[in-house]
Structure 1
Amino acid sequence: MGGANSGVNITDLKDVSSYYRQRSFAVSEEITRINNLINKENLIIADINRRKSDILLKNNMYFKKIVIEYEAETNINANFDISYIAGKCGWAPAYDLKAKEIGEPVVMKYKAKVFNNTGIPWQAVDMVLSTGDPLQGASAPTISTWNLNYNAPAGSSGKGYYDNAIKNEYRQYEEAQYQVLDENISYNTVTVSVISVEFPIEKKYNIPDNGKPYTIDVTEYSLDAEFSYYAIPKFESNVYLIGKITGWEDLSLIDGNMNVYFGDKYLGVSQLNTNSLNDTLELSFGRDKQVSIKRNRIEEFTKKGLFGSSRKETFMFDILVKNNRKTDIQITIVDQVPISNESEIEVTVDEISGANYNEITGKTMWVTTLKPSESKKYSIGYTIKYPKERTVSTKQYRSMQSAMF
């Protein structure tokens, strides 16, 4: 292509460019061909698994025989009620959390996603959902040392089904037989109380034996909640409604997803973490357009200049918040002053309008109550001084996806 004493030859450059395009196209075609082969093989594997499942079902290979030996002194007609433990069934918690209006209790609908992969469909069955261990033995329990450590956040991934399946030592023989029907079910370890809890289900349900989850109603709770507002106008001109819910820790709940609603509006999915160290569950109920907030730069107090060997930049902002609701509200407004990580960069706080100020993080916070139609204004200002020959990013920017044409 060229060396230290010679330039790039145009013809060579064109040849290299052409070769690169051809190779790129060839590699892309090969990747597509391999992906198509993988997809075809996956379809073949899925078809084999379906046929295997059909064969096992036809030959009754998913079922066991129960043999009962009994002794009677005389000839009698007897009926037996048989209880047994079946694997390949279980349930996962799910919740709907609905707040109708500020100041009213929050309704939590406790639901369960129940799956049945036993090979026997359940028709109008009576159900009791339990967090207990179905294989508890008859031996008395023992107690071991309870060590306390600092809590690490509990990890969670996949679908958190509470499995009623038989433990590994009891199911080695069954594992291969059940594998086909169970391959689409993911399991996750969830934390439950050491004391098992049972939830009798009042309604009778039909649960097919296809391994798919079916949602059933468990119970419903009315929870006390305190509502307040939260805003960071530096990032966006929106105010968020925050609900602080108490009393949930006494309800024997299990980690799971919650569908969150406010009024008739669906807001999204939140995660219930029963390992939380707080007795208050804090959730965002989305943006409330009836409370407005704006952050404007005050041009007359925003300036730049050189002072000897230093450069100074001064910034001043006004924050205006207004309550357009018909009731009093409490709102927390958060902003910040930059923190210097260099000895030559000096930051001076000029104005924070009585905010709570953290000198370590630079975080400023105003907590106030607004009456209906009331407005309040706060100011935040600071000066940044640094050597004039250096460059300091005195503004923050955010990233976003942009289409390329």
Structure 2
Amino acid sequence: MPARCLPALLVLLSAALPCLAAESTTTEGRVSAVTVYQGQALVTRQIELENAGGLTEIVVTGLPAKVQPGSLYAEPGDGVVVRSVRYRTRPVEQDVRAEVRELDQQLQDLQDKLAANARRRALLGERTEYLKQMEGFTTGTANAELKSGVLNAETLKSLTQFVFQERTEIAEQELTSQVEERELRQELELRQRKRNQLTQGSAKTVREAVVFADLGQPGAKQLSLTYIVTDATWSPSYNLRADAEAGRVTVEYNASIQQMSGEDWTDVDMTLSTATPSLVATAPRLDPLAIRLAAPTPEQQAASRDFAKAKSELMQQQRKLATLRNSYAADSPVFDGPMAGERLNDMFADHIQSESAPNAPATPGFAGGRGGGFGGMFAGSSVTADAGLNRISDEMQLLDFNGDLGRGRVAEQQPANSQGISVSYQLESSASLPSRSDRQLIQIASLPLEGRFYRLATPVLTEFVYKEAMLVNSTDMVLLAGPSATFLAGEFVGRGEVPTVAAGESLQVGLGIDTALRVSRELVEKKSRTQGGNRLVTFDYQLSLENFSGEEVDVRLMDRLPKPNSDEIKVTLVEPGKPLSEDQEYLKKQRKDGLLRWDLKVPAGAAGLDQQTIAYTIQLEYDKQLQIVGMPAK
């Protein structure tokens, strides 16, 4: 075929092919649901398209600064087929957030006012220079006229008054201008700090998800876009409102939320969770471990001797790397590229020892050993997350083979987080949370719990007597550990802590000091005698309770016996004074540790000679050549 015929043939072929060019539409969608984890959040945007169909490129714009690109996922609605989802950034002239744009406009207005103020001050300077010239002219003319005898005193007076009047007006305007400039600069600095706080140094960049989809026949279409953002977290907190007369405490379970993701959440369905979202669905691959024999290096011998410390540090690294693996997509640069090893070493900076640290024990390395601490574990190589986990596990197993287990043990199964439990709470109503640095409080639930109210007296610790209530979590909701503010009869009485409480578990709540009660403890008598090679010592104690109120109160009076660590010391409760508590929880948990508890009813007005007392006696028997010393609490 002649070459000159090819262009015409290509034109005919292109005209015969169907047009497959995709339409393009841009939308921000609407943030409809958010699951807040402790450190990040899963955001869902609803995308609604009117009268759309066929192949369409849907650009979801205005994604937040803290979005994780690898977490983008599009869920198609009815009649929609998603072909691809990708992330892109695009520079813009103005910040994409309305709040930031408003601040930018305010900053521009303030700068314009400062420029106008500077121009007015410049004009005042020009007026001052003009007056100086006029003064020189007036003075010279007056001298000449005075010499010639034709001085016009009235004209000179008018000119002088004009000059001084002008100088006074200029001085007042300069002072006003200086005050205005100072106020404008203060306002400018305030707005600038607020903008920096909102943007945290982000550039004028719009972040977008490009969804390529087949929308089918024209009509109303829907799809959702989900993604994970960082800088979002929550923690539990409580308000405890006690009503002693009703025997009830209302537990207001709140979430203290901080979200600085860069986007506002308005009227969204919100869930709070302690789970850890994962971007990786597959388990890590376990590689074979090849071993050989070699003479141990001095560094390896040192690490083997310090088995517990070396094993604990390796376990911390393993746990952190496993968490990182779940938090980053497989194609993340964290685990890819020639600098991956150095990036991982930087991430472990808080958990590994530096090679330059003096006397730092090294881990027995595989393939002949490396020595020099953990700092070089990933150095000089590109590692995947799975390879990194295998590398750490190699070190741990080699430490098991070569380490001295008798010098210390370490628990190998530790909880992934301090909570030790994974729960989620779906808020009953929609919530709104703007992106800002402040912690914002949202109520999860209000739980009225029945309880037993009493007083707790521990005279070995303090003379104050405290009000308490023992509640039972009769709901199906798990209460996570968090700080609490306590109110009794509507009045604030203090702050405390609520532990993690599962459904059906009991909860002890402090309600502040009861100023109508007072307790004391006295060693009344001490007797000592020798029996064989042992010393027997008896101690008579008296505990006293006074009630200055006009009503009878229930009091739990606590004391303790010493708890020996061996049979070399024998401790006997000779006389308890009054029967000890028969509460099963006390007998199960506290009595075996030597804690003593009496459940008393203290009458109204039991003070002075009418105070309630308990006298009890204990006996200690031990080697007469030795003396009793304390031990650290376990």
- Residue type matched to 2:538 in 1? T
Q: 1:189 to 1:71 in 2, by over 3 A?
A: farther
Matches within 5 A, 1:355-366: 355-356=579-580, 361-366=593-598
Q: 1:100 to 1:341 in 2, by over 3 A?
A: closer
Quick one: distance in 1 between partners of 2:569 and 2:474?
48
> Which position in structure 1 is the counterpart of 2:627?
392
Q: 1:101 to 1:324 in 2, by over 3 A?
A: farther
Task: Measure how far apart 1:83 and its partner are.
Answer: 4.6
Answering whether residue 332 of structure 2 is matched by residue 107 of structure 1, we say no
SS in 1 for 2:484: strand
- Residue type matched to 2:229 in 1? G
> Which position in structure 2 is the counterpart of 1:22?
none
> Which position in structure 1 is the counterpart of 2:217?
72
Answering whether residue 423 of structure 2 is matched by residue 199 of structure 1, we say no
Task: Measure how far apart 1:348 and its partner are.
Answer: 5.3
Q: 1:115 to 1:362 in 2, by over 3 A?
A: closer
Task: Measure how far apart 1:257 and its partner are.
Answer: 0.7
SS in 1 for 2:209: coil
Residues 89 and 114 in structure 1, CA contact (< 8 A), matched pair in contact too: no
Residues 86 and 118 in structure 1, CA contact (< 8 A), matched pair in contact too: no
Q: Which has the larger radius of gyration?
A: 2
- Residue type matched to 2:257 in 1? V
Q: 1:355 to 1:126 in 2, by over 3 A?
A: same
Answering whether residue 348 of structure 2 is matched by residue 120 of structure 1, we say no
Q: Deviations over 1:9-52 (max 9, x none)?
A: xxxxxxxxxxxxxxxxxxxxxxxxxxxxxxxxxxxxxxxxx99x
Task: Measure how far apart 1:323 and its partner are.
Answer: 2.8
Q: 1:386 to 1:98 in 2, by over 3 A?
A: closer
Uncovered stretches (5+) of structure 2, i.e. residues with no partner: 1-195, 279-324, 336-342, 344-415, 582-586
Q: 1:309 to 1:94 in 2, by over 3 A?
A: closer
Indicate which of 320, 323, 345 corresponds to 2:544: 320
Residues 129 and 200 in structure 1, CA contact (< 8 A), matched pair in contact too: no
> Which position in structure 1 is the counterpart of 2:464?
238
Residues 115 and 207 in structure 1, CA contact (< 8 A), matched pair in contact too: no
Quick one: distance in 2 between partners of 1:258 and 1:248?
21
The alignment's TM-score, normalised by the length of structure 2, stands at 0.39
- Residue type matched to 1:351 in 2? E
Answering whether residue 405 of structure 2 is matched by residue 260 of structure 1, we say no
Uncovered stretches (5+) of structure 1, i.e. residues with no partner: 1-49, 137-165, 180-186, 400-405
Quick one: distance in 2 between partners of 1:243 and 1:373?
23
Matches within 5 A, 1:45-60: 57-60=203-206
> Which position in structure 2 is the counterpart of 1:380?
616
Task: Measure how far apart 1:170 and its partner are.
Answer: 4.6
Q: 1:83 to 1:103 in 2, by over 3 A?
A: farther
- Residue type matched to 2:204 in 1? K
- Residue type matched to 2:234 in 1? A
> Which position in structure 2 is the counterpart of 1:214?
440
Quick one: distance in 1 between partners of 2:545 and 2:241?
24
SS in 2 for 1:200: coil
Q: Deviations over 1:186-242 (max 9, x none)?
A: x95756667x6421335x53412x565422233322222211222232232232322
Quick one: distance in 1 between partners of 2:562 and 2:548?
32
SS in 1 for 2:427: strand
Quick one: distance in 1 between partners of 2:421 and 2:534?
61
- Residue type matched to 1:58 in 2? K
Task: Measure how far apart 1:367 and its partner are.
Answer: 1.4
Q: How big is the alpha-carbon RMSD for the aligned residues of Structure 1 and Structure 2?
A: 4.6
Q: Deviations over 1:310-341 (max 9, x none)?
A: 65543212111123344432222222344666
Task: Calculate percent identity across the aligned residue pairs.
Answer: 14
Matches within 5 A, 1:57-206: 57-60=203-206, 62-72=207-217, 82-88=224-230, 90-104=232-246, 105-122=248-265, 124-131=266-273, 168=327, 170=329, 172-173=331-332, 190=419, 197-202=425-430, 205-206=432-433
Q: Deviations over 1:78-114 (max 9, x none)?
A: 5757453443365524232323442342122222233
Structure with the bigger percentage of helix: 2
Q: 1:268 to 1:132 in 2, by over 3 A?
A: closer
SS in 1 for 2:217: coil
Q: 1:273 to 1:170 in 2, by over 3 A?
A: same
- Residue type matched to 1:98 in 2? L
> What is the total number of aligned residue pairs between the two structures?
299
Quick one: distance in 1 between partners of 2:272 and 2:535?
68
Q: 1:93 to 1:339 in 2, by over 3 A?
A: closer
Task: Measure how far apart 1:285 and its partner are.
Answer: 2.9
SS in 2 for 1:372: coil
Task: Measure how far apart 1:356 and its partner are.
Answer: 2.9
> Which position in structure 2 is the counterpart of 1:39?
none
Residues 106 and 225 in structure 1, CA contact (< 8 A), matched pair in contact too: yes
Indicate which of 505, 511, 518 corresponds to 1:292: 518
Residues 115 and 212 in structure 1, CA contact (< 8 A), matched pair in contact too: yes
Q: Deviations over 1:363-384 (max 9, x none)?
A: 4331122232234211012344
> Which position in structure 2 is the counterpart of 1:336?
560
Q: 1:192 to 1:361 in 2, by over 3 A?
A: closer
Q: Deviations over 1:288-314 (max 9, x none)?
A: 23221111222xx43446678765543
Quick one: distance in 2 between partners of 1:244 and 1:169?
44
Quick one: distance in 2 between partners of 1:383 and 1:338?
10
